[in-house]
Amino acid sequence: MEKTYNLGNSVSSISLGADIDTIGLAASRATIYKDGSATAVAHSVDATGDIANQEIGKSNDLKGSRLQVFTKIALTGSDAGLRAAEAEQLSGTYMLAGGRDGLKTYTHSTKDYVDPNVFLQFLVDLI
Amino acid sequence: MKKYIIFILLCAAGRAGAQVQTPTVSLKDLAVPSSPAFVITDITPTLVQNPATPKAFVLGVAQSYQQSGTGFPNNYSAEFTPYWWLKLHSRSVYNAQGIHRSKRDTTKWVTDPTAGLKYTSISTAFVNKDMIPDTAKTTQKVFAVGIHATLLKIYAKGYAQELGGSIADWHRAAQDEIDNNQKMLDALAKLGSDPKDSVERKKIIAEFSQKKTPGILENINSLIARKPLFNLDIAGAYSAYGVTDQEARTGRVGAWTTLSSYIPLSTQIDNKNYFEISASARYLSDHFQKNDLDQIVRVDNTDIGGKAGFSFSQLSIGVESLYRHTKGISGGSVRTIGIINVKLAENLYINGAFGKDFAGPNKLISAFGINWGFGTEKVDLP
């Protein structure tokens, strides 16, 4: 069961922001899955991997969909021990706003380390 | 010294002078130590704690305190960088590498010469050791704390632009790869994030196809490994000895600084050949040192040295000179030697030195050694 974000019944704009905390190279993509189709709605613009707070759609359009924020991180440097330590420490923080739940912050992304890469995935069901 | 050297096969020393005297200080001793608290107490701890949080550090000290049963943490050594303790949420590859966009022209990248300051590290040691050169063999409770920082790191013109451009290339390539792996992303979204599905998730992620990013990452790693045009490091350390159960006195106080310059001998991105020149200075005040009259007094030592030479992947050759002034014991003296290191095979190194020693006007030093170890390091000037 995924975490949820309650959009409510209005037609307000829903916004998303992502803060990727790493010293590695990061690239993020946000995708909405609804009725069997995938639509990219936001992405990072530099290697911070952060997604600046931006509108991803109207609440009535997003209702019943699943939001995914996928981040690929490449860890730099030749020291495998330091890369492993950074893989342990890095994290993602995700913010949704505009719905009935107001501003809600999530930190529960999954993390998979395949040296030198780390893959973060944040999933939330928009209800 | 090579990180992985495990065995010295041969070390022979000859001398052209009339008297043998091993210098008590070398230029390497003057270089800024990464763990000054260990250096000032002459310890090489086999187990150094690297606490990831302030809580872990306090718990480590407390645990050592409890285990010792002497009211003093016993043989506890730790080294940490407070920056890593902070959850700033502002960490990025850009601030880690000390580059940012120019305020005047946002298409340009510039370096921050003081970016290394945030990685200032602190070392601490609690040891029971006989640090006082008297006839008694009793140990003292010794506490030492040290700090190490890189004050300045200045790269050659164009470095920031090259690194910033490569990072931008990586980001574009990574976005393309995410596009091209849409089916994998779909499968991940469908699977969900339940921890019980982690094995399945790893299987899906293993299918992530990469094209350009590994090559660009390799270039970025070469740029990150590039030596700066100028580098200024400093370190300081303080130690106190528990001379009685009730009284602690200052033991040693030390300060180090090293200014280095590395001039690349090639414009290739993975260049490892440099002309190096550096100057080091060390001040060491020891409150418990024997003077010429065999009395235990405070002695202040000031050492200044420098070296210059060429460093290639298979060979390094250079000259180093060291001036030592010891207040309270004797006058200043100079040691100047030529040094050579040759990499014979992947794990086999020969090093040699020849020159004038501290001992007097006609004293020469010659040394030759072979080191055998593991690793693929290049040969650096010592």
- Residues on chain A touching B186 (C-beta within 8 angstroms): 33, 38
Share the mean pLDDT of chain A. 94
- Cα–Cα distance for residue pair B106/B317, rounded to 1 Å: 43
Q: Which pair of structure tokens corresponds to residue A52?
A: 């600046």
Q: Which pair of structure tokens corresponds to residue B306?
A: 């420098």
> A71-75, B20-24, B257-261, B365-369: which has the minimum mean pLDDT?
B20-24
Nearest to A47 among B84, B167, B205 (CB): B167
The pLDDT of residue B13 is 35
pLDDT digits 0-9 by tens, B184-222? 999 999 999 888 899 999 999 998 999 999 999 999 999
The pLDDT of residue B364 is 72
Q: Does A34 touch chain B if contact means CB atoms closer than 8 Å?
A: no
pLDDT score of B89 more than 80: no
Q: How far is CA B259 from CA A62, B28, B161, B253, B272, in A?
A: 59, 13, 25, 21, 19
Residue-range definition of the domain harbouring residue B197: 164-215
Q: Which phi and psi angles does A112 have, rounded to 5°? A: -125, 125
Give residue A76's pLDDT band: very low, low, confident or very high (50, 70, 90): very high
Average pLDDT over residues B81-95: 85
Residue-range definition of the domain harbouring residue A106: 4-126
Residue B221 lies in a domain: no
Q: Does A17 touch chain B if contact means CB atoms closer than 8 Å?
A: no
Residues B325, B180, single domain; the answer is: no
CB B232 within 8 A of CB B259: yes
Q: Which residues pair with B150 in a beta bridge?
A: B233
pLDDT score of B113 more than 90: yes
Q: Select from B196, B215, B234 the last residue of a domain.
A: B215
- Cα–Cα distance for residue pair A30/B33, rounded to 1 Å: 46
Nearest to B221 among A27, A47, A76 (CB): A76
Residues B195, B239, single domain; the answer is: no
- Cα–Cα distance for residue pair B303/B287, rounded to 1 Å: 17
The pLDDT of residue B10 is 35
Pick the residue from chain B with its C-alpha nearest to A32.
Answer: B189
The pLDDT of residue B94 is 95
The pLDDT of residue B8 is 37
Q: Which pair of structure tokens corresponds to residue B319?
A: 């000259």
Helix (H/G/I), strand (E/B), else coil: B143: strand
Residue B26 lies in a domain: yes
Average pLDDT over residues B224-231: 94
Give residue B6's pLDDT band: very low, low, confident or very high (50, 70, 90): very low
Share the mean pLDDT of chain B. 83
Q: Does A47 touch chain B if contact means CB atoms closer than 8 Å?
A: yes
Q: State how many domains chain A has.
A: 1
Residues B308, B339, single domain; the answer is: yes
The pLDDT of residue B381 is 56
Nearest to B178 among A70, A108, A109 (CB): A70
Share of chain B above pLDDT 70, in %: 86
Sign of the dihedral through C-alpha B264, B225, B218, B171: negative
Residue B188 lies in a domain: yes
State the virtual CA torsion across B192, B196, B200, B201 in degrees, nearest 10.
50
Task: Find all residues with CB under 8 Å of A35, minimum gap 6, and list them.
Answer: none
B210-229 core/surface letters (b: 16 or more CB in 10 A; e: else)? beebeebbebbbbbeebbbb
> A111-115, B124-128, B261-265: which has the minimum mean pLDDT?
B124-128
- Cα–Cα distance for residue pair B308/B293, rounded to 1 Å: 38
Give residue B76's pLDDT band: very low, low, confident or very high (50, 70, 90): confident
- Cα–Cα distance for residue pair A26/A46, rounded to 1 Å: 8
Give residue B277's pLDDT band: very low, low, confident or very high (50, 70, 90): very high
Residue B220 lies in a domain: no
pTM of the entire predicted model: 0.81
CB B301 within 8 A of CB B289: no
Q: How far is A125 from chain B (nearest CA, A)?
A: 10
Residues B77, B202, single domain; the answer is: no
Is pLDDT larger for residue B316 or for residue B148? B148
Sign of the dihedral through C-alpha B48, B52, B53, B56: negative
Average pLDDT over residues B247-275: 91
- Cα–Cα distance for residue pair A50/A29, rounded to 1 Å: 10
Q: Between chains, do B213 and A74 touch, taking CB under 8 Å as contact?
A: yes
pLDDT digits 0-9 by tens, A88-121? 989 999 999 999 999 999 998 999 999 999 999 9
Residues B127, B241, single domain; the answer is: yes
Residues B281, B351, single domain; the answer is: yes
pLDDT digits 0-9 by tens, B57-70? 888 888 887 777 77
Q: State how many domains chain B has.
A: 2
The pLDDT of residue B356 is 77
The residue behind tokens 């759609």 is: A57
Residues B239, B366, single domain; the answer is: yes
HSE of A32, CA atoms in CB hemisphere, 13 A: 20
Task: State the complex-level ipTM.
Answer: 0.96
Q: How far is B40 from chain A (nearest CA, A)?
A: 26
Q: Between chains, do A43 and B186 touch, taking CB under 8 Å as contact?
A: no
The pLDDT of residue B2 is 43
The pLDDT of residue A80 is 92
Average pLDDT over residues B301-314: 89
The pLDDT of residue B362 is 58
Continuous H helices in B208-319: 213-225
**String of DSSP letters for B29-65:** HHSPPS-HHHHHTT---S--B--SSHHHHHHHHHHHH
Nearest to B91 among A22, A38, A123 (CB): A22
Q: Does A38 touch chain B if contact means CB atoms closer than 8 Å?
A: yes
- Residues on chain B touching A46 (C-beta within 8 angstroms): 94, 167-168, 171
Residues B174, B247, single domain; the answer is: no
Is pLDDT larger for residue A116 or for residue B5? A116
pLDDT digits 0-9 by tens, B169-182? 999 999 999 999 99
> A63-67, B190-194, B251-255: which has the minimum mean pLDDT?
B190-194
My answer on whether omega of the bond before A116 falls inside 30° of 0, hence cis, is yes
Pick the residue from chain B with its C-alpha nearest to A78.
Answer: B221
Residues B258, B318, single domain; the answer is: yes
Q: Which phi and psi angles does B112 have, rounded to 5°? A: -105, 110
Task: Find all residues with CB under 8 Å of A42, minimum gap 6, and list them.
Answer: A16, A29, A30, A51, A54, A56
pLDDT score of B16 more than 80: no
Residues B303, B204, single domain; the answer is: no
- Cα–Cα distance for residue pair B305/B279, rounded to 1 Å: 6
Average pLDDT over residues A39-46: 96
Q: How far is B241 from chain A (nearest CA, A)?
A: 34
pLDDT score of B26 more than 50: yes
Give residue B4's pLDDT band: very low, low, confident or very high (50, 70, 90): very low
Interface test with A, best of B50, B83, B86, B93 (most A CBs within 10 A): B93
pLDDT digits 0-9 by tens, B145-167? 999 999 999 999 999 999 999 99
Which of B116, B125, B133 is closest to B36 using CA atoms? B125
Nearest to B192 among A2, A23, A25 (CB): A2
Q: Between chains, do A25 and B205 touch, taking CB under 8 Å as contact?
A: no
- Residues on chain B touching A19 (C-beta within 8 angstroms): 89
Q: Between chains, do A76 and B224 touch, taking CB under 8 Å as contact?
A: yes
CB B380 within 8 A of CB B307: no
